[in-house]
Structure 1
Amino acid sequence: MPHPAACADRDDVLRYLRVFMSVAHTGSVTRSSEQIFKAASAITRALTQLEELLGVELFERRPRGMLLNAYGEAVHLRARRIQAEIRQAAATLCTGQNIRKDPDVLTQLLLSGSKLRVFVSLANHGQLAACGHQLGMSKSGVSMSLARLEESVGQPLFQRTAQGLLVSEAAEPLLLHAKRVFAEVRHMQAELMALQGSVEGCITVGALPLGRTRLLPLAIVHLLQKYPRIQIKTRESAYEELARDLGCGDIDFIFGALRPQEENRQLISEPLFVDQVRIFCRANHPLTRTPGRIPLALLQQASWILPRQDSPARRALVRSFTRHGLSAPQPSVESGDLAVVRNLLIHSDLLTACSPHQLRYEMEKGDIVELNVELGEAERSIGIIQRSGCHPPPAMQALLEELRKICANDLLPCSPLPDIATARGVALWQDRAA
């Protein structure tokens, strides 16, 4: 976890964005001073502090004005996106529950990293003490910051309960946009590093079951061989939770089985390949001694371990049984955890329906085998899911490209994962959801 001071420094970028955007638009400190009613000396000082914070110069200083350089253009892109998120949050707050506030005034207030960071931390932890510990603030300091924010917004942002603080319904849009703001700040700094020749930054991937066995790990290994300073976090959870976290910027993309586009129009899907669902059991299972192709009707009364009811693999299995005029099997165990599935298969007579990619290594060892069953078109698309309108930073683009290459060229061969033990500066975490 980053040190609280590091988070605070990163969030300070927000304080200077209004001045930066004005100078970028007008091309002049003098004209910017007239536009935002700040002294020219204050604007110059703010720009200097922003450049010191980011570690790069953002403008070419010329006699006739100031022109954005490559670093400035990168910051300008993220700054526009940050400004749009905050304006949407302010507009929503100012039109809800008869609140009569000026959205522009509220936008300037929310362009304060400290207030937004306190709000997001409280939403995540629900406790003043835990928030203070994360941000390096006292409990009273957190309480005072929240009180000032709520006073400025004109309504409570949290419901006070015996268990802690819960984000109010009216404040949910603010939380969504605030998290996206901090994701943009994080990506901004990664892009500046890439312009300096160092591709680094932290990428958080929502890992659905199919990709966890080989495809995603292999892509990560290839990425870290090229860019050992990149940091990867993975989150393993139900699709609905990952989609929610993707929507607010807590994770950068999801890899795995795609859902119908109409389920969430704020997300966009990129199919990489079509996967075939198959039926598996342990080696020496009684059904393995059945001669020829096994009819589906014979499997209706078998004991099953299956993924969740709304998962693409489960839907594919149900479609196969339905096409044959059969009712779908009811699972004895329902789980999407691969470790649970593998161990139950190996130590019982349970069957499962999933992708061969998920059980690849157990099949090569001979612990698990595929049954000779004709399921028909039991297919599902596998690919990448991103938030609509996102602008991936270089590190994320590099990982996405590795996934595309592997899924296009390396699906069948099963060579050992490359050795990255000698790569220096690698930080790879597993950020598992409950």
Structure 2
Amino acid sequence: MSTQSKRPERPNLRHLRAFSLAVGERNISRAAEAAHITQSAVSQAVGKLEAYYGCRLLERSAAGVYPTELGRVAVERIDRALARLRAATQRAAAQQRPGAQQRSAAPEAARPETQRPEAARGARTPGPQALDRMLSLSQLAAFLATARGGGFKAGARLLGLSQPSVHRAVRQLQDVLGVELLEHTSLGVAPTRGGADFAAAVALILKEIDLVADDLDEARGRHRGRVAIGSLALGRSELVPRAVARAAKAFPDAQFLIQDGTYDQLLLGLRAGDLDLIVTAGRPLATDDVVEVPLFDDVLAVVARADHPLAVNGVTGLEDLARYPWILPRYGTPTRWRCDELLRKVGAPQSEGLIETGALVSVRALLLESDRLTVLSRRQIAVELESGLLAALDVPLPEPRRAIVATLRRDWKPTQVQAALLQELKAITEEWTAADTALRPSA
């Protein structure tokens, strides 16, 4: 059995914080003072964290303490998680209603000593900047599961816990922050506006903490991490599978997930940390927490079955396109915009007898069984073009080139396996670009 499988689901948040403080202060005594706990508590916390990860994280000497090589790997990811938690709790606490802080302090005072967070054991209630010290990962996980599941029952089922324990953990979290994160709606329990922001932050906090184990495994030569890729259209049919196959060959113990869906669904998953990157056509970004990394320029074409009248006899003019029904990509996609522009230009009906789908398998079958036309990537149907099943018509398209990009979280810190997958995406598209350039006639 692997070391990872022996570990509980997640480490203790207080242990992570104590280790981070010890590294930052280079001194157990100063770390204890900063954490408002005893020196022995700091030492025990670090020891338990070392047992959890199965490696030495901290070296002790007469001059103080310093991280081992693995300790430096761990603390970089831990500090990212703690910084996210600190910022998220401060944003949430800023939404407190008058009197909320006083109300939130009451449950802590009434709670038995053994159930209070260590940072809360003192004569005064921490201010907003110290609220993160009063939280636990179980509270954060309970809230996120409830917010995503739409209720405490669903949240309990997601976590494999009892409903009362999940409800209690979420209530404790709200008491500490002094703000309501959930509200009852006609459809169940849903995050408030501030709760939705906090849930998004919690998802990334838990993601960072989970990746500590992957970073440490990779530092020890064990590449058993997981990469989750969201993919649309061309990426799903060819680019992403090729990149995953190459990365999986280099890292046979790693896990890969290829997730499809609409762009909005995948973007939501990316921002929540469920996905590590998305491969899609470039488009204007509505949020500043993600960035696009260009991969290559794809070429679109009007496509029909190989024995279509327009493929056999040729296109005499754009008006020919208006005589046949169309298959259109989903509304809101970059390719759909190009289709709509073309149909407006040729005067074809845009609302009568249309079929809309983003599934290449469906598009291919519809083209082969009808006289319908559509717009597709030439590379996406390279096999069908070479085998003579489909044909690309000689029709000028408005802006026939589209940028294919990898969309990432702006502050993403990839593991080695994740970085390797992104590198394979770049390598494959560089090969495609070089091949296209070689085939292009010289001036």
| Fold match (TM-score > 0.5) | yes
2:61 aligns with 62
Q: Specify which of 326, 337, 340 is matched with residue 315 of structure 1.
A: 337
Distance 1:59 1:398 in 2: 29
Distance 2:6 2:86 in 1: 23
1:192 and 2:216 equivalent?
A: yes
Q: Specify which of 185, 200, 218 is matched with residue 242 of structure 2.
A: 218
Q: CA deviation at 1:328?
A: 6.8
- Extract unaligned runs of 5+ from structure 2: 102-126, 436-443
Q: CA deviation at 1:403?
A: 0.8
Alignment of 1:234-253 (within 5 A): 234-253=258-277
1:257 and 2:257 equivalent?
A: no
Q: CA deviation at 1:197?
A: 0.8
Judged with a 3 Å threshold, the aligned counterparts in structure 2 of structure 1 residues 361 and 411 are, in CA distance, closer, same or farther, namely farther
1:399 and 2:398 equivalent?
A: no
2:367 aligns with 345
Which protein has greater RCO, CA pairs closer than 8 Å, 6+ apart?
1
1:373 aligns with 395
Judged with a 3 Å threshold, the aligned counterparts in structure 2 of structure 1 residues 155 and 282 are, in CA distance, closer, same or farther, namely same
Q: Specify which of 103, 110, 134 is matched with residue 109 of structure 1.
A: 134
Distance 1:255 1:191 in 2: 24
1:421 aligns with none
Alpha carbons 1:16, 1:47 under 8 Å: kept: yes
2:147 aligns with 123
2:411 aligns with 389
Judged with a 3 Å threshold, the aligned counterparts in structure 2 of structure 1 residues 306 and 64 are, in CA distance, closer, same or farther, namely same
Distance 1:408 1:39 in 2: 56
Q: CA deviation at 1:97?
A: 4.9
What TM-score do you get using the length of structure 2 for normalisation?
Answer: 0.85
Alpha carbons 2:97, 2:179 under 8 Å: kept: no
Runs of 4 or more consecutive aligned structure 1 residues displaced over 6 Å after TM superposition: 5-8
- Tell me the alpha carbon deviations over residues 207-237 of structure 1, each in whole angstroms, 9 at most, x when there is no partner: 0111111111011111111111111112211
Q: Specify which of 159, 172, 189 is matched with residue 135 of structure 1.
A: 159
Alpha carbons 1:316, 1:379 under 8 Å: kept: no
1:12 and 2:11 equivalent?
A: yes
Letter matched to residue 290 of structure 1 = N
Q: CA RMSD in A?
A: 2.4
1:75 and 2:74 equivalent?
A: yes
Letter matched to residue 233 of structure 1 = L
1:268 and 2:291 equivalent?
A: yes
Q: Which moved more, 1:213-222 or 1:279-288?
A: 279-288
1:290 aligns with 313
Letter matched to residue 36 of structure 2 = F
Letter matched to residue 75 of structure 1 = A
Name the SS of the counterpart of 2:257 in structure 1.
Answer: strand
Alpha carbons 2:27, 2:64 under 8 Å: kept: yes
What TM-score do you get using the length of structure 1 for normalisation?
Answer: 0.87
1:281 and 2:315 equivalent?
A: no
Distance 2:185 2:7 in 1: 28
Q: CA deviation at 1:257?
A: 0.8
Distance 2:129 2:34 in 1: 14
Alpha carbons 1:304, 1:329 under 8 Å: kept: no
1:206 and 2:206 equivalent?
A: no
- Tell me the alpha carbon deviations over residues 176-197 of structure 1, each in whole angstroms, 9 at most, x when there is no partner: 1100111112222211111001
Q: CA deviation at 1:103?
A: 2.0
Q: CA deviation at 1:318?
A: 4.2
Alpha carbons 1:247, 1:387 under 8 Å: kept: yes
- Tell me the alpha carbon deviations over residues 65-98 of structure 1, each in whole angstroms, 9 at most, x when there is no partner: 1111222122221122112211221122111153
Alpha carbons 1:118, 1:145 under 8 Å: kept: yes
- Tell me the alpha carbon deviations over residues 366-399 of structure 1, each in whole angstroms, 9 at most, x when there is no partner: 3222112222541110121101111111110010
Judged with a 3 Å threshold, the aligned counterparts in structure 2 of structure 1 residues 60 and 341 are, in CA distance, closer, same or farther, namely same
Distance 1:199 1:13 in 2: 24
Judged with a 3 Å threshold, the aligned counterparts in structure 2 of structure 1 residues 148 and 130 are, in CA distance, closer, same or farther, namely same
Alpha carbons 2:330, 2:357 under 8 Å: kept: yes
Letter matched to residue 80 of structure 1 = D
Letter matched to residue 266 of structure 1 = D
Letter matched to residue 132 of structure 1 = A
Distance 1:375 1:287 in 2: 16
Distance 1:113 1:364 in 2: 54
Q: CA deviation at 1:7?
A: 11
**Larger-Rg structure:** 2
Aligned residues: 405
Letter matched to residue 297 of structure 2 = V
Name the SS of the counterpart of 2:228 in structure 1.
Answer: strand
Q: CA deviation at 1:113?
A: 1.0
Q: Which moved more, 1:147-156 or 1:164-173?
A: 147-156
Q: CA deviation at 1:353?
A: 0.4
Name the SS of the counterpart of 2:11 in structure 1.
Answer: helix
Q: CA deviation at 1:294?
A: 4.3
Alpha carbons 2:227, 2:276 under 8 Å: kept: yes
Alpha carbons 2:144, 2:203 under 8 Å: kept: yes
Distance 1:177 1:377 in 2: 38
Q: CA deviation at 1:315?
A: 2.4
Percent same amino acid at aligned positions? 29
Name the SS of the counterpart of 1:61 in structure 2.
Answer: strand
1:330 aligns with 350
Distance 1:258 1:328 in 2: 27
Distance 1:127 1:165 in 2: 5
Distance 1:200 1:258 in 2: 31
Name the SS of the counterpart of 2:283 in structure 1.
Answer: coil
Q: Which moved more, 1:126-135 or 1:382-391?
A: 126-135
1:408 and 2:434 equivalent?
A: no
